[in-house]
A and B are shown apart, each in its own frame.
Chain A
Amino acid sequence: MADDTTTDAPATDGPTDEVADEATEDVVRDEAREALLALFTDALGDAVVGSHILAGKDLWIRVSNEAWRTAADIARNRLGAKYFGFLSVIDWMPSPFGRSMDSEVDRRIAGDEPYSLPEGSFETGYAGGDTRFQVFARLAHINDPGATWGVTLKADLDDETPSVESWTSVFAGADWHEREAWEMYGVDFVGHPGLRHMYLPTGFEGNPLRKDFPLVARQVKPWPGIVDVEQMPSDEDEAAPSDAEGGES
């Protein structure tokens, strides 16, 4: 899923004027984000390996692992994204312990066929990705009221030894976020002043937010949503308007 650049087309229902307005409006929004994407691509060149624009909503840019810190540097110093939102990691492996009504483990508990870990590449999200772990971060430009924008940056991490350059030299606030990502996922941040536990006690073994780290409650009892809903009125009734109190003052 490399070089995946998509934009969502607007819905085209209703009279022609609305279509034209909607199309124009969405195109204007897209242009702003597309221009932003172009700036990133110009500045980073090959380092941008994927992107995704959700019209009117958000922008995702995936950079190569080596260019992670450079991307931050350029975003902050050249493009004006001085505001540091957050930094964390996504583990794209589906949980082997099951989590939903259709999941294997829950069916097994309910008495069906045995479970085996699905193989193959992991399905990743917006802006693509090839690896199990991805680091992602949010930056924003907030200094112009009325022209603020935000971007989500992503980068792939190696499966065996996930590691990436630290952002602390660019954004001092990344310190705590990288510590948390390190302890929760086991991702090494090269250049971080001192990776130590943020939330967990000092002797803790394992990386809790990884998908193969079990949530103990789920080992003890099945997923509570499995007996989700008691019998309720049908779907048509539950969305009935209740404006009896509307307009009361």
Chain B
Amino acid sequence: MTAVTDRQKLQYIAAKAADARVNVELETEGMTLNIGPQHPATHGTLRIVARLDGEQVIEAEPIAGYMHRGYEKLAEVRTYPQITTLVNRIDWLGSFANEVPFILAAEQLMEVEAPPRAQWIRTLLFEMSRLGNLILFLGDMGVQLGAVTPAFYAFRDREFVLDQIERVTGGRFHPNFDRIGGLKDDLPKGWLADTKSVMNKVRDFCDEIEELLMGAEIFTARTRGIGVIPKDVAQQYGLSGANARASGIDWDVRRDNCVGLVYPELDWKVWTHPDGDSFARFWVRLQEVREATKMIDQITDGLPSGPIMAKVPRIIKVPAGEAYVATENPLGEMGYYIVSKGDLTPFRVKIRSASFNNVSITPWILRGVYVPDIITILASLYFILGDIDR
């Protein structure tokens, strides 16, 4: 047989490669689509690799980690007040809420309890951070579905809440206000009266959103029956917060396992929905916003007087032990597992973030849906990248 020249070999390889390129680029069967990481739909840098068959998803996998900042490693070399600053930035929309479970876990280890006024104000700011987070969700759900206008109303009305938070803590987005044993400072003059009027505005906004979005039939057609998560699957994946309650699980950490906050003394209701679809998740969060405004009104009415800081040493050395405290954050159940060796810095901090579990369900849930429904389901699951990636 004749020897094949190098040139012929190269030509053969080039031809095969060209064929392969064409096949890969033209394949509409099992076409691989890459959504993200820069993408208006995802709340940050989440990348989803989807294999499509025409318009249907065969399988989809989210790839997180574009925003991994190494909080757990950093926490081993930072003091507790320094970690409070770091931890603000996990869920940056409701940032005060991130500090609370951490401080409560540290307080459990130190066996210190914040004075009542501090606990009440903590709960108040916790609920306000829930408002700041969920109001954005309500507007953003519209944007993901194409209705661009309600998002502007959401931003506008959220500004009032952020203004109030800023007046107390000094920061709109990163308050850094919680301290072991209480809070950094007390409320300014006239703040409580203004909060009441802001709550009225938020309630008006909820009514507006209900009319604009929930009332729109296109919205209902796009969200009802989309992305149904059964109860059992939700628990297996550790879905929490409104995602779990929308699947019919009657569980709220504020009611069932309340540590250090004053929810048992308030009169409020846990909202659930039996359907488990995207519409249910939207609806539950809308009701939660309304409920939060009612809770804030009760707190502003019943705020006790007193000190806002317990007696804790200047330099905080937390005694040895382990503690896990979880709270009902806006995104779901957020918890901190602190292992302390009696040092200035913790030995190990495990951050249990809600969005990590919430998003881990996407490979399971995105099988067989249409491409536009990917966006709907992700929007209704509602995650923050900082929460997934820590």
Contacts and interface: CB of A to CB of B under 8 A. Distances in A.
Interface of A: 57-58, 60, 82-86, 88, 90-91, 94-95, 99-102, 123, 125-126, 136, 138, 142-143, 145-146, 148, 150, 152, 171-173, 175-177, 184, 197-200, 208-209, 215, 218, 223-225, 228-229, 232, 235, 238-249
Interface of B: 64-65, 68, 70, 72-74, 76-79, 82, 108, 117, 185-193, 232-233, 235-238, 249-251, 255-257, 270, 300-301, 303-315, 321-324, 326, 333, 335, 337, 339, 341, 343-345, 348, 350, 352, 356-357, 360-361, 364, 389
Contacts of A243: 117, 186, 305-308
5 contacts: A126-B322, A138-B324, A197-B65, A208-B73, A243-B306
A199 B270 CA distance: 35
B306 A241 contact: yes
B382 to A, nearest CB: 17
Given A60-B322, A99-B343, A245 B256 contact: no
Nearest to B251: A142
Nearest first, the 5 closest Cβ-Cβ pairs linking A and B are A246-B305, A173-B237, A199-B65, A241-B307, A247-B305
Contacts of B345: 99-100, 225
B322 A125 contact: yes
B242 to A, nearest CB: 15
A10 B117 CA distance: 25
A248 B189 contact: yes
Contact of B304 (A95, A101, A229, A246): A246
A100 B344 contact: yes
A144 B363 CA distance: 29
Contacts of B74: 215
Nearest to B314: A235
Q: Secondary structure of the A side of the interface?
A: loop
Contacts, number: 176
B238 A146 contact: no
Given A145-B256, A229-B315, A125 B108 contact: no
A91 B68 CA distance: 20
A173 B361 contact: yes
A245 B236 contact: no
B360 A173 contact: yes
Given A57-B108, A208-B73, A248-B189, A239 B312 contact: yes
A2 B22 CA distance: 64
Given A95-B76, A172-B364, A146 B321 contact: no
A12 to B, nearest CB: 15
A223 B77 contact: yes
Contacts of A136: 337
Given A225-B79, A235-B313, A126 B321 contact: yes
Contacts of A60: 322
A150 B257 contact: yes
A245 B121 CA distance: 12
B237 A172 contact: yes
A218 B77 contact: yes
A91 B187 contact: no
Given A171-B238, A173-B237, 11 more contacts: A57-B323, A85-B335, A95-B77, A99-B76, A148-B251, A150-B324, A152-B324, A228-B79, A242-B185, A244-B186, A248-B191
Given A95-B76, A208-B73, A199 B255 contact: no
B192 A248 contact: yes
